[in-house]
Chain A
Amino acid sequence: MSTEIVVMQVFNGVSLFTILLLMSIGLAIVFGLMGVINMAHGELMALGAYVTYLTAGAFSHYAPQWMDVYLFVAIPVAFVATGAFGWLLERGFVRHFYNRPLDTLLATWGLSLIFQQTYRSVFGPQEVSVPLPAWLSGAWEPFVGIQLPLNRLFIIGLTAVVTVGVVLLLTRTRWGLRVRAVTQNRPMSAAVGIDTNRIDAMTFALGAGLAGIAGCVFTMIGSTNPGTGQLYIVDAFIVVVFGGVQSLIGTALSGLAIAQSQTTLESVMSGSMARVTILVLVIVVLYFRPNGLFARKARS
C-alpha cells in the first residue's frame, strides 16, 4: 500500500472520528449526563437534516445568490429548531418518564416510529437531496495523489468548534455548573435553590440541538430520508456506552478508538467484517469494563 493511501486512510479515520463525535455528543449529554435513553435521538438528527433541506430550499428560492453560504445559516437554524423541539419534547413527554429507564426506552422508541412516519408523510418516502455548496465539493490536494475531501475538512473544523463550545459551556458557565450539579446530586441541587426542572429541559434541549447540528452536517456525506436517523443511532449509542456513560472525554476517546480501528480494519478486510470485528471488540471490552472505558469512579 502506498504512502498516499496510508495518509488518506489516517485522514479518513480522523474524519470518521469527528463524525462519530458529532453524532454522539448530543446523546452523551442526554443519555450520559441526564440518564435518559432517548431512542428518538436519531430522528432528532433527521429533523436537523430536514431543517437543512428546507433552509437550502428557501435560499435557492428567495436568495439564490447567497446559496454558497446557506450552510452558515442552516447550522444555527438546525440547532435552534431541533433544540426548541427538544425542549418541547422534554416538557411534554420525556419528563414524565424520569427514573423509569425501561419505560423511557419503549416510549422514545415509539416516538421515533411516529417521527419517521411523520417525515414520510410530510416530505415523502423518497430521499431528499440537499445541495452541497460549490466551495465544499471537491478535494484539497496538498501533495500529488493525496486528496482530502473539503466537506470532510469542514466537518472536522465544525466538530472541533462544537466540542470546544460544549465543553466550555459545561465547565466555564454558571449554567454548566448547575447542569453538573443536578446530574451529580439532584436532591442537593434542588435544596440549594437550583430549578432542576428548568435545568433538565435546557440540558435536553442542548442535546437535541447538537443532534440537529449533526443531522445538518450529515446531509453533506449521507442520505436524508425518513429512516436516516436509524443509520446513526446505533453507532451513537455504541460510542457513548463504550466510552463510559457520564464522561464526555470518554465519548471523545471512544469515538477516536472506534473510528481509527474501523478505518484501519476496513483497509485490510471487507466493510462488513470490519464492522463485525469492531462490535466483537466492543463486547469484549464491555465484558471486562462493564461501565465503559472511562467510567467515573464514584461511591455508590
Chain B
Amino acid sequence: MVGKSTNRASQTSPCGHPPPLPASRLLQERKRPPSRLPYRINPALQRLPPRLLGASGTLLTRPAFAQETVKLGLLHSLSGNVAIAEASLVDAEKMAVEEINAAGGVLGRQIELIVEDCASDNSVFAEKARKLLERDKVAAIVGCYTSASRKAVLPALNRAKGLLFYPTYYEGLEQDKHVIYTSQEATQSVVAAVEWLAREKGKSFFLVGSDYIYPRTCNKIAKPTIARVGGKLVGEEYAPLGHTEFSSIINKIKAAKPDCIYSTVVGGSNVAFYKQLRAAGLDGTKQTLLSTVVSENEIEGIGKENAAGYYACMGYFQSLKNPKNERFVKAFKAKYGAGRVIGDPMQVAYNSVHLWARAATVAKSFDPEKVRDAAANIELDAPEGLVRVHATNQHVWKKVRVGRAMPDGQFDIVWESPNPIEPNPFPKL
C-alpha cells in the first residue's frame, strides 16, 4: 500500500541525480483549502523550462528527484473542542518525520505527510481515515486521541486492512489487529500510581473523575488495587464532562478526609477543579492529589501556580534527565519556540512515528500487516527511555513515573518504576 511518487517534474528534468533535498521540503501537508499548500507551485512557473527557474525553482519543483516517497497519514483534531489536547501531537509527529527524512527516510524512501483535520467530530475521523486509506493509500496512520475517535476509525481500518498507531493513554479493553497502542493503557499507570500513593502517602483513598469510560475504568482498576495494598476507599465521585462546579465534590472530600485523592478529571474541568481545590484550602499539603491525565500541556491551561504541589503519574515528563530526552526537548523548542512544553502524549506521538519507521525497516515492507507483525518486540530508545512493543498484544512495555508539579509548570520526578511495566489491556479484576 505504498503511494507512488507524485513528482511529475522528475520525468521532464534534464539533470542527472541532484543531491537529496532538505527534509523539510518534502513535508507536504494537505489541508483544506488546497490553495494553501505550502509548496504549491505557480502553474505558470511549471510551464517554464527548468533551466530558467534558478535555484529556488529547482528546489520547488524537485526535478529528477526520482526517489519515491511513502505516505504517512496524521489524523487528529486541529479544530473543535478536543484540539485543546490533540493539536500539539501533530507538531511532535512532524518533527519525528523530519528527523527520519533527514536521516535518509524509511527503506530509502522519504516520508510524505498527509495531515487531516478531523475537527473533533468522530464521524469526520471515520471519513478521513477512509480517505487516507483508500484514496491516498497511506502506509500507516498515526492519530486519534479520544477512545471514541479511535473506535470510529476501526471499521475503515478493518476494511482497508490499514494500520493505526494510537498515541494516547487510554482505558485499555481493546486489542484490534489494525492498531498499535503506543501509550500506557490503564493498568500501567493506575496500578503503579495507587501502589506508590499507598506506600508513600497514606492508605485512605478518594476517587474523583469525569463521568465517562476512562475514569470509570481506571477506578475499576484502582479499587481492587487499593484493597490489595491494604488501603481503604472513602469516596468515589464523578462529575459530568465539562463540569466547572466542583464545590460539592470538594466538600465531600473534606468530609471524608482521605490521605490520597486519585483524580481522573479531564479537559477544561481540570482547570476548575484545581483552582477550586486550592481556593478551598486543599493545596496538596495535607492530602496528596494525583492525576493520571494532567501532563505539562494541561498545566499550561490550569495555571502553573494552581497546579503546583499536585502529583501526576505519566510515562514521560519533560524534565526527565537523559541525553536522548534533552536532545528531544532542545530540538522541539528550536523548531516550535522556547515557550512550548511537551507533555506525555506528544512524546508518545513522536515515538509512534519512529516505531512505525523501525517496524517497516524490520519488515522490509510498508505492507500494514507485515509492519504490524514486525512491530512485535520492536524496541525504541525513546526520550522516555526504552519502550518495547509487546510480543502479542500490540501495546508497549514502558516505565511510568510519578512527578510533583512545580511552580514553573514542570514536574519534579519523585518516583520511577524500576523496570518497564508489561501492558495488560484486559486485566482480570
Contact = CB atoms under 8 A, between A and B. Distances in A.
A2 B255 contact: yes
Instruction: Find the residue from A9, A117, A223, A262 having the highest chain B CB count within 10 A.
Output: A223
Contacts of B407: none
Interface of B: 78-81, 83-84, 86-88, 211, 237-240, 242-245, 247-249, 251-252, 254-255, 268-272, 275-276, 278-281, 297-298, 300-306
A139 B276 CA distance: 10
Nearest to B86: A125
A60 interface: no
A149 B276 contact: yes
Interface residues of A, number: 50
A267 B251 contact: yes
Given A138-B281, A267-B252, A271-B239, A131 B271 contact: no
A12 B271 contact: no
A184 B3 CA distance: 67
A155 B427 CA distance: 46
Interface stretch (A26-34, A224-232, A242-250, A284-292): A224-232
- Tell which of B240, B249, B275, B281 has the most Cβ of chain A within 10 Å: B275
A221 interface: yes
Contact of A223 (B88, B272, B305): B272
Contact of B248 (A9, A127, A139): A9
Chain B facing A: main interface SS: helix
B248 A223 contact: no
A131 B248 contact: no
Given A16-B245, A126-B84, A263-B247, A138 B301 contact: no
22 contacts: A5-B254, A5-B255, A9-B248, A12-B247, A16-B247, A120-B83, A125-B79, A126-B84, A126-B297, A127-B298, A127-B300, A128-B301, A129-B303, A147-B280, A149-B279, A221-B276, A226-B84, A228-B268, A266-B249, A270-B238, A271-B248, A272-B211
A8 interface: yes
B268 A225 contact: yes
A52 interface: no
A222 B281 contact: no
B279 A266 contact: no
Given A126-B300, A138-B281, A230-B81, A270 B251 contact: no
A282 B297 CA distance: 38
Contact of A222 (B244, B297, B298): B244
Given A132-B303, A132-B305, A226-B83, 18 more contacts: A5-B251, A8-B254, A9-B248, A9-B251, A15-B247, A16-B247, A127-B271, A129-B271, A139-B279, A139-B281, A151-B279, A221-B272, A223-B271, A224-B301, A227-B84, A266-B248, A267-B251, A271-B243
Nearest to B81: A227
A138 B271 contact: no
A137 interface: yes
Interface centre among A129, A218, A272 (most CB of B within 10 A): A129
A84 interface: no
A148 B163 CA distance: 53
Contacts of A2: 255
Contacts of B84: 125-127, 225-227
B300 A129 contact: yes
A130 interface: yes
B58 to A, nearest CB: 34
Given A128-B301, A223-B244, A223-B301, A231 B238 contact: no
